[in-house]
Amino acid sequence: MVTNNHRLTTKLTPVLLGIHVVAIPLYPHLPLQVLLVTAVLTLWTLLIISGRISQPGRFVMLLLTMMVLAVLMLSYGTILGQQPGSAMLLLLSFLKLFEMKSARDIAIVIFMGLFLIASKFFYSQSLLIAIYVFVVVVYLTSLLIVFSDRLGTTRFKARMYKSLRMIIQAVPLMLILFVLFPRIPSPLWGVPKDAVAATTGISDEMSPGSINRLIGSGEVAFRVKFNGDPPTRSDLYWRGLVLSNYDGRTWRLENAPAEALPLLVPSGDEKSRYRYIVMLEPHNQRWLYALETMVEYEGQLAVTREMQVLTRSNVIDVISYNMRSDIKAENRGLFEPERRKNLALPAGLNSESVSFARGLFKNSNREDRTYIGNVLKHFSEMGFKYTLSPPLLGENAMDEFLFDTRRGFCEHFASAFVYLMRAAGIPSRVVIGYQGGAMHPFDDYMIVRQSDAHAWAEVWLEDEGWVRVDPTAAVSPTRIEEGIEHAGLERGLLPSILISDNVIIQRARFMWDSFHNNWNQWVVGYNRKRQQELLEMFGFNNATSSDLAMWLVVSMTLAGSLVAWLVIRRESIKQVDIIRLYYDRFCRKLERAGVPHRSNEGATEFMARVVKIFPANKQELAMITGDYEHLRYGGVEDENRVRRYMRAVRRFKVKG
Amino acid sequence: MSATEPKIRNAATEVLQRAADNISRIILGKDEQIRLALTCLVARGHLLIEDLPGVGKTTLAHAIAQVMGLDFQRIQFTSDLLPADVLGVAVYDRERSVFEFHQGPIFSNFILADEINRATPKTQSALLEAMEESQVTVDGETRDLPQPFFVIATQNPMHQIGTYALPESQLDRFLMRLHLGFPDREAERELLQGEERRDMIEHIKPVLDGVQLISIQKQAAGIHVADALLDYVQSLLEFTRNSPMFEFGLSPRGGLALLNSARALALIDGREFVLPEHIKQVLPAVVNHRLVNTSDELEIKKQTAADFISASVPVP
């Protein structure tokens, strides 16, 4: 027992390594205490492996388990949920290493590892994670091979190769399951709610600095595939949220009641209509981005009176949605409460700005349009500067920005513009979202990055409804027409993907993005709809779940038969088929009689063993064995002998 | 091996059986070793006998030589033995003004290289090279050794001061390595009662001669080996190469050794073709000295390489 245990523990190093490999992506998410426990348990295991200390007893194990649970409770306040759950599994895997008694215990740890590795997909479903998971699964399978091999004979390279071969052999079955398995809409399964903890992206409020914080990120916000040509760059306003409430520093949402619907007037001009699919990266928020002005959508979405598009729950998977936008459509709805809301200003602040607005409005003959033009002219001619590193602003932020610093990013201009409008009595509000997007150089979709984040304004004109005005365009027209990387901003603050001059790296990045996009569409985003589309491509229309289940069973059976056929064929090519098959039959008869043939035993050896047990059969045994050896190893073909041999095997019965 | 089939009684088998019988009358209770030693001879390989002094290594070699009717030379290896003492030397003949080659003891059909590990590596390799190539090169002139050519080397397994144990790479040149071991009680009693073994050897009649032996060797090389058994040999080789138990797997030469020995054994056994059992029977003698067991696990360490391999590889 002791030696047996010792023998097992010395083999634990690869298993320990396996647990760590599984846990690598988990580590950044773990609290410090849990990491410390991990380190202590690892050291302890290493000491056991080296034989310096023995495995802890039952009492110590109990204490350790309680301690681990206590640490988890302290760190998370619970042991339920996705993160504490994975942490607990990880720590328990380490503890399991302390009580290895048989190969079965090791198998348990490896299975726990496989479960843990599957939970990686909670955090991310990207292609990189998939590749990583694949490698880890190959490694863990190779460990299973070692421990299920009684003699532990296979070298690292050989067993990795074997494992890889096994996994690759399983791929066709995996594909069948993936393609045909009935897709059931969440929440029955899907990513748990707490999965996407921190994501970059626009938040639901705007204060100075909140947009330019995003500019340094080259991360993809969403990808768009247009049905036909995309609009020109300066029309690419991706509307996200509308912010109406201003407290002197921060703009916030203040939505109309949900039952109030927008009042849209389409332009009727086919040329201004665009049909497209957006593939949105998870941003853990409810709103979606749509090209202004969205007039048609598919699926269960809600559109607010402010023309914000909302889903039912936060976006934690890559999702895609079909839309149609009319860039000239008008939004004509304004109730009285909305007018009041979009004129409200915090009292007692920025008096200088207010009087400036009133003066300018008066000079503009109280004409809304003239006034707007004058304000934009003020921005473009009075030395305002578009910059990623604006100076900090104090209590009267608007006054300081307008008359003192005059340096700001889009949120400053949008904010100041709306402020000046409201001060002059024109209803107006801030819109945040993305502006621009770059066509993929060799794939036909557009990439919109976090660095395209933008804020602009909307003003209410009695005869046109809500009209978009982008004050940034007055300060830096190139930002809107050519994109952020051409707007003369500080290059060091822009993401490298936008400004890199290395053609090869750029190309590689775009290729990776293409890859990633396909992965998102066909693997991560493979839902019921995609499944139907794919099956329609093969001519199966309107497949129900039970149809799918049936096809699944049929194709699995077919695949299984194919594999079985291949195996049998390979075996029969290797062996003199009928002779060997009959010998197997002979062995089965003896096995039923209680004398199984050992795989490493020659026919004569086997016979010698059998004769001792069933001496009465000696003659038949000798004949069958002799014929078998002749036919199988003798290299001479003899029809009569084959017949005699087959007959003898058929008639063979154990006597006594 | 129990008879499953009336064995084909061909002349070669009969002669070899008679040789084995004659030898086993002198070396008592060692039938298996005698059979393998003859197998080695028929497979045109060389034999290494590793055992303690006094268990009959030299007697066995002597008896085989006598039975086979081969001319026999014994070289006692000592630390001052030089390569020239084994191979021969060119001596200047004053009268004819030429160098004349004086053949060393290696120029005979049957060599007993006694206690080979006592000689220096230089002398050892002179012998081993001659064994390998069946020829000797002295002073730039190559001379063929007589055929058949068979070497039995003996080695004392104990580590003694002033000995040079053959390294693994040299051991590979021996087709087989055998251990004799102590005789069992019955055989030992007979040994103690009977007459002097050396005298008995003098009285054995040869059962064949060198020419016959060569034809038997040729016959053995023609024994049929089924594809299934080539698979088996390849599986065995592959297993030794993949198993962490061994530092290195068997070489292709090891594979050929296995096959040729199995053929020779099949001939001795009166078979027209090789059976898996033949391979398994020669396995310990052929592979144990070629494989270094590096396993640190006691359970595996205790087994010999051959036991471990044949337990692990299924017979096709």
**Residue B302 resides in a domain:** yes
B14 part of contact set with chain A, CB < 8 Å = no
DSSP letter at A404 equals I
Say which residue the tokens 């080659």 belong to.
Answer: B101
Between residues A498 and A169, which one has the greater pLDDT? Answer: A169
Give the C-alpha separation, A106 to A45, whole Å: 14
User: Which residue of chain A is at minimal alpha-carbon distance from B274?
Assistant: A633
Give the C-alpha separation, B222 to B267, whole Å: 10
CA distance A646 to chain B (A): 17
Could you report the per-residue pLDDT of A159-210, keeping only the tens digit for each? 888 889 888 888 888 888 888 887 765 544 455 555 444 567 788 888 887 8
CA distance B188 to chain A (A): 29
Q: For residue B300, which residues of chain A lie inside 8 Å, CB to CB?
A: 151
Query: Within 10 Å of residue B210's Cβ, how many Cβ atoms?
Result: 18
**Residue B243 resides in a domain:** yes
- The total number of structural domains in chain B stands at 1
Burial B122-156 (b: 16+ CB within 10 A, else e): ebbbbbbebbeeeebebeeeeeebeebbbbbbbbb
**Residue B290 resides in a domain:** yes
Task: Identify from A2, A10, A151, A573 which residue to disrupt to test chain B contact, counting B C-beta atoms within 10 A and taking the largest count.
Answer: A151
A14 part of contact set with chain B, CB < 8 Å = no
Q: Which residues, 6 or more positions from A471, have their beta carbon under 8 angstroms from its beta carbon?
A: A375, A376, A379, A413, A414, A416, A417, A456, A457
Distance of alpha carbon A426 from the chain centroid = 45
User: Which residue of chain A is at minimal alpha-carbon distance from B227?
Assistant: A633
Q: Which residues, 6 or more positions from B69, have their beta carbon under 8 angstroms from its beta carbon?
A: B206, B207, B208, B209, B210
Query: Within 10 Å of residue A445's Cβ, how many Cβ atoms?
Result: 19
**Residue B89 resides in a domain:** no
Give the residue-averaged pLDDT of A271-295: 89
pLDDT band for position A306 (cuts 50, 70, 90): confident
Task: Identify from A9, A145, A153, A157 which residue to disrupt to test chain B contact, counting B C-beta atoms within 10 A and taking the largest count.
Answer: A153
Q: Which of B107, B68, B111 shows the shortest CA–CA distance to B215? A: B68
The residues with which A466 forms a beta bridge, in sequence order, are A331, A460
Please give the pLDDT value at position A223: 92
A626 part of contact set with chain B, CB < 8 Å = yes
Q: Which two tokens stand for residue B206?
A: 């040869």
**Residue B137 resides in a domain:** no
Decide if B4 and A626 are in contact by the 8 Å CB cutoff: yes
Please give the pLDDT value at position A457: 93
Decide if B2 and A608 are in contact by the 8 Å CB cutoff: yes
Q: Which two tokens stand for residue B172?
A: 């590979």
Q: How do A428-435 and A453-461 pair as beta strands?
A: antiparallel
Q: Which residues, 6 or more positions from B219, have their beta carbon under 8 angstroms from its beta carbon?
A: B12, B267
Distance of alpha carbon B186 from the chain centroid = 27
CA distance B79 to chain A (A): 42
User: Which residue of chain B is at minimal alpha-carbon distance from A3?
Assistant: B298
Does residue A583 register a pLDDT over 50?
Answer: yes
DSSP letter at A257 equals P
pLDDT band for position A152 (cuts 50, 70, 90): low
Does residue A5 register a pLDDT over 60?
Answer: no
Q: Which residues, 6 or more positions from B83, have their beta carbon under 8 angstroms from its beta carbon?
A: B122, B123, B126
User: Residue A133, SS3?
Assistant: helix
CA distance A538 to chain B (A): 45
**Residue B295 resides in a domain:** yes
pTM, two decimal places: 0.53
Largest CA-CA distance found in chain B, in angstroms, rounded: 69
Please give the pLDDT value at position B5: 45
Question: Residue A240: which H helix or E strand, with range?
Answer: strand A237-246
Contact indicator for A654, A614 with CB cutoff of 8 Å: yes
Q: Nearest CB to A604: which of B4, B311, B313?
A: B4
A440 part of contact set with chain B, CB < 8 Å = no
A633 part of contact set with chain B, CB < 8 Å = yes
The residues with which A265 forms a beta bridge, in sequence order, are A330
A335 part of contact set with chain B, CB < 8 Å = no
DSSP letter at A619 equals H
Q: For residue A599, which residues of chain B lie inside 8 Å, CB to CB?
A: 314-315
User: Residue A309, SS3?
Assistant: strand
User: Which residue of chain B is at minimal alpha-carbon distance from A635?
Assistant: B226
Task: Identify from A633, A637, A641 which residue to disrupt to test chain B contact, counting B C-beta atoms within 10 A and taking the largest count.
Answer: A633
B316 part of contact set with chain A, CB < 8 Å = yes
Mean pLDDT of chain B: 82
Query: Within 10 Å of residue A192's Cβ, how many Cβ atoms?
Result: 15
pLDDT tens for each residue of chain B, 316 residues long = 433 444 455 778 888 888 888 888 888 888 888 889 989 989 888 998 888 877 788 888 888 888 888 888 888 888 888 888 888 887 888 888 888 888 888 888 888 888 888 888 888 888 888 888 888 887 777 888 888 888 888 887 766 666 777 777 778 888 998 888 888 888 888 878 777 777 777 778 888 888 888 888 888 888 888 888 898 899 888 888 887 777 778 888 889 999 999 999 998 888 888 988 899 889 888 888 888 766 655 555 566 777 878 887 888 7
Could you report the per-residue pLDDT of B60-88, keeping only the tens digit for each? 888 888 888 888 888 888 888 888 888 88
Terminal Cα distance for chain A, rounded:
40
**Residue B134 resides in a domain:** no
B98 part of contact set with chain A, CB < 8 Å = no
Give the C-alpha separation, A515 to A509, whole Å: 10
Please give the pLDDT value at position A565: 86
Say which residue the tokens 């020659």 belong to.
Answer: A602
Report the amino acid identity of residue A55. Q
In this prediction the ipTM stands at 0.79
A460 burial (CB, 10 Å; 0-12 / 13-18 / 19+) is buried
**Residue B157 resides in a domain:** no
Q: What is the CATH number of the domain that holds B293?
A: 1.10.8.80
Q: Domain limits at B242?
A: 222-316
SS3 content of chain A, % helix, strand, coil (to 5): 55, 15, 35
Give the C-alpha separation, A310 to A301, whole Å: 6
Give the C-alpha separation, A214 to A624, whole Å: 82
Could you report the per-residue pLDDT of A23-42, keeping only the tens digit for each? 888 888 888 888 999 999 89
| Lowest-pLDDT choice from A119-123, A306-310, A365-369 | A119-123
Could you report the per-residue pLDDT of A48-64, keeping only the tens digit for each? 888 788 778 888 889 98
Query: Within 10 Å of residue A146's Cβ, how many Cβ atoms?
Result: 21
